């Protein structure tokens, strides 16, 4: 049924496409044929109409060569490419623009934006010979969904400022996209949400020799560049940043590398809530991972560049977590608050390339951090400000509390039930002075360092067991009593008066020091 129509349709299509495109459709054709069976006779002969199946496959995939593209790297294929994109956009539900193997020169920037439009190449190259942005999916004020690019090399030259730009493009899928030879930014994404990126690459190692060396590999811009997933992102050899955030939030990076750049990963202020797992940074000349934003997580990452800022540095921001990674240096700056370093390793190399851990932050928490050269383990909870512990907490290491002045309260306890205290029950100042009280009123006893080798209290002191004194015992008060005897004034034995032993014993008895049997 429909054999002649189907044959003519296929013949016409084959005359305008390549063997590579035919091969890529075999699996889809088999799937659709299995769904189109209309009849099986007694001899097992299957009858079906293939015309709508093949017609659908051909109409859904638009080869740029069907629209006049040459792909020789010299002929300008801009018009043919744009015509193929226009035809695909006219397809209800979106279509596929296909680039057979070849080098497709275009002197005009290509904007391939459209809902559900897929740009697929068979290791094809888009060679931009013009000025500015090579390829974009830029929706402007209109949001587009479900688009994607796969299997393309985007190649520029000295006048190409950006390789691939996304703006207002969402829910897309981008795989095996390579950018080469741009004089600026390889990948720049703005206002793009919930896209999936896998194996984005801009690599001097792969290319061998740069024609034009990019400044930045991947740049994510704005708070609404968010909730994107990046798998195995490869940025190697940029003159500036491998991966640069500019306010982007809640993005996930899994695996990949940013190496051989000036800076590996840079997160300035407002680039918050991003997650990095098992991403490598090494052979960078300025820094590996530099963080000045908040609520970011680095899990199992590597920062191995042998430079002063190699490793990870948290200069500012709140509640950043560094978990189970390996770093040349770990640096926490004075403007960083609540940084957590859990089960990390630093100082990866032996002398003369030793790394270090330095901390000037506030509320820095360290658990199980290991110096790779000495095997020393650091467990530190450092409190440079206020902190509340409202339950049971166990600290198996150093608790360090720093406050600006020696008389500042460093630590205090209070009761928080229905009859909560209005004053501390116990408090300690930076210089070690301790005070106690009932909680319902001001403190009423204390203990502090009065002078070198002298411990003092301004209130009464009761000793319930033995008191051992290694030096002189001095009493500066007006009365004294021992063994429960009421304190009395010092007894006076007048000079020149004959006193008996009984007079002395009586005086000692009054003090409670002796008693008669």
What CATH number does the domain containing 219 carry?
A: 2.160.20.10
23 and 130 both lie in a single domain: no
385 and 442 both lie in a single domain: no
Q: Which residues contact 482 (CB under 8 A, 6 or more apart)?
A: 511, 512, 513
pLDDT at 142: 95
pTM of the predicted model over 0.75: no
Q: Which residues of 307-333 are buried (b: 16+ CB within 10 A; e: fewer)?
A: eebbbbbbbbbeebbbbebbbbbbbbb
275 and 416 both lie in a single domain: no
At residue 432 the predicted structure's pLDDT band, cuts being 50, 70 and 90, is confident
pLDDT in tens, 360-410: 998 888 989 999 999 998 876 655 555 555 555 555 555 666 666 778 877
Q: What is the mean pLDDT of residues 298-318?
A: 98
Strand partners, 489: 479
Q: What is the mean pLDDT of residues 94-104?
A: 94
pLDDT at 78: 98
CB-based contact 352:328 (threshold 8 Å): no
In a domain, 110, yes or no: yes
- pLDDT exceeds 90 at position 499: no
320 and 338 both lie in a single domain: yes
pLDDT at 55: 46
- pLDDT exceeds 90 at position 239: yes
CB-based contact 319:338 (threshold 8 Å): yes
Mapping DSSP to helix (H, G, I), strand (E, B) and coil, where does residue 150 land? strand
At residue 139 the predicted structure's pLDDT band, cuts being 50, 70 and 90, is very high
Q: What is the mean pLDDT of residues 152-180?
A: 98
- pLDDT exceeds 50 at position 2: no
pLDDT at 304: 98
CB-based contact 281:261 (threshold 8 Å): no
- pLDDT exceeds 80 at position 510: no
Q: What is the mean pLDDT of residues 119-147?
A: 96
At residue 49 the predicted structure's pLDDT band, cuts being 50, 70 and 90, is low
437 and 365 both lie in a single domain: no
Q: For all residues of the chain together, what is the average pLDDT?
A: 85
- pLDDT exceeds 80 at position 492: no
In a domain, 479, yes or no: no
19 and 157 both lie in a single domain: no
In a domain, 463, yes or no: no
Mode of pairing for the β-strands spanning 434-436 and 445-451: antiparallel
pLDDT at 56: 47
In a domain, 13, yes or no: yes
49 and 98 both lie in a single domain: no
Cα–Cα distance, 517 to 515 (Å, whole number): 7
Q: Which residues contact 394 (CB under 8 A, 6 or more apart)?
A: none
**20 is in which domain, residue-wise?**
3-54
pLDDT at 71: 97
Q: Which residues contact 277 (CB under 8 A, 6 or more apart)?
A: 252, 253, 254, 255, 299, 300, 301
- pLDDT exceeds 60 at position 34: no
Split into its structural domains, the chain has a count of 4
In a domain, 62, yes or no: no
Cα–Cα distance, 340 to 367 (Å, whole number): 8
Percent of the chain with pLDDT over 90: 58
- pLDDT exceeds 50 at position 44: yes
pLDDT at 256: 98
At residue 496 the predicted structure's pLDDT band, cuts being 50, 70 and 90, is low
- pLDDT exceeds 90 at position 299: yes
pLDDT in tens, 405-427: 778 877 777 776 767 788 888 88
In a domain, 472, yes or no: no
pLDDT at 465: 81
At residue 42 the predicted structure's pLDDT band, cuts being 50, 70 and 90, is low
pLDDT in tens, 343-373: 999 999 999 999 999 999 988 889 899 999 9
Which residue, chain included where needed, has tokens 């930076």?
Answer: 430
Cα–Cα distance, 431 to 401 (Å, whole number): 11
Percent of the chain with pLDDT over 70: 79
pLDDT in tens, 311-335: 999 999 999 999 999 999 999 999 9
76 and 41 both lie in a single domain: no
Q: What is the mean pLDDT of residues 454-466?
A: 83
At residue 10 the predicted structure's pLDDT band, cuts being 50, 70 and 90, is low
Q: What is the mean pLDDT of residues 16-22?
A: 51
pLDDT at 32: 54
296 and 347 both lie in a single domain: yes
- pLDDT exceeds 50 at position 59: no
At residue 27 the predicted structure's pLDDT band, cuts being 50, 70 and 90, is low
In a domain, 92, yes or no: yes
317 and 393 both lie in a single domain: yes
219 and 93 both lie in a single domain: yes
In a domain, 475, yes or no: no
392 and 439 both lie in a single domain: no
Q: Which residues contact 256 (CB under 8 A, 6 or more apart)?
A: 230, 231, 232, 233, 234, 235, 279, 280
Q: What is the mean pLDDT of residues 283-302?
A: 98
- pLDDT exceeds 50 at position 157: yes
């Amino acid at each position: 049924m429909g054999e002649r129509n189907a044959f003519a349709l296929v013949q016409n299509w084959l005359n305008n496409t390549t063997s590579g495109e035919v091969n890529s459709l075999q699996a889809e054709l088999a799937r659709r044929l299995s769904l189109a069976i209309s009849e099986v006779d007694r001899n097992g002969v299957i009858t079906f109409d293939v015309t709508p199946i093949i017609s659908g496959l051909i109409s859904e995939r638009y080869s740029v060569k069907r629209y006049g593209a040459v792909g020789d790297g010299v002929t300008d294929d801009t018009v043919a490419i744009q015509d193929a994109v226009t035809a695909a956009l006219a397809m209800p539900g979106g279509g596929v623009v296909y680039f057979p193997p070849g080098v497709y020169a275009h002197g005009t920037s290509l904007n391939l934006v459209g809902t559900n439009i897929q740009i697929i190449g068979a290791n094809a190259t888009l060679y931009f010979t013009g000025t500015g942005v090579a390829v974009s999916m830029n929706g402007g004020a209109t949001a587009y969904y479900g688009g994607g690019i796969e299997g393309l090399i985007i190649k520029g030259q000295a006048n190409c400022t950006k390789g691939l730009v996304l703006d207002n493009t969402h829910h897309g899928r981008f795989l095996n996209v390579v950018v080469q030879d741009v004089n600026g930014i390889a990948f720049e994404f703005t206002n793009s949400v919930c896209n999936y990126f896998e194996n984005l690459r801009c690599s001097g190692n792969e290319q061998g020799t740069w024609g034009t060396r990019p400044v930045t590999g991947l740049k994510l811009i704005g708070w609404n560049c968010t909730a994107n997933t990046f798998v195995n992102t490869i940025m190697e050899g940029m003159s500036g940043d491998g991966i640069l955030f500019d306010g982007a939030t809640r993005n996930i990076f899994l695996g990949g590398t940013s190496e051989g750049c000036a800076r590996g990963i840079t997160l300035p202020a407002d680039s918050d809530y991003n997650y990095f797992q098992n991403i490598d940074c090494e052979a960078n000349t300025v820094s590996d991972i530099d963080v000045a934003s908040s609520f970011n997580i680095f899990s199992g990452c590597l920062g191995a560049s042998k430079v002063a800022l190699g490793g990870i540095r948290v200069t500012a921001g709140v509640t950043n977590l560094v978990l189970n990674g390996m770093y040349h240096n770990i640096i926490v700056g004075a403007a960083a608050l609540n940084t957590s370093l859990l089960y990390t390793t630093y100082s990866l190399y032996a002398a003369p390339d030793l790394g270090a851990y330095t901390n000037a932050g506030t509320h820095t928490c360290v658990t199980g951090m290991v110096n790779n050269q000495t095997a020393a383990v650091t467990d530190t909870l450092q409190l440079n400000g206020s902190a509340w512990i409202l339950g049971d907490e166990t600290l198996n290491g150093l608790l360090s509390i720093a406050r600006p002045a020696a008389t500042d309260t460093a630590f205090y306890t209070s009761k928080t039930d229905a009859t909560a205290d209005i004053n501390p029950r116990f408090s300690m100042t930076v210089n070690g002075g301790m005070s106690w009280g009932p909680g319902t009123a001001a403190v009423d006893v204390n203990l502090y360092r009065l002078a070198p080798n002298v411990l003092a209290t301004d209130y009464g002191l009761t000793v319930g067991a033995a008191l051992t004194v290694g030096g002189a015992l001095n009493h500066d008060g007006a009365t004294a009593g021992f063994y429960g005897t009421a304190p009395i004034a010092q007894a006076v034995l007048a000079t020149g008066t004959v006193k008996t032993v009984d007079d002395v014993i009586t005086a000692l008895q009054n003090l409670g020091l002796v008693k008669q049997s």
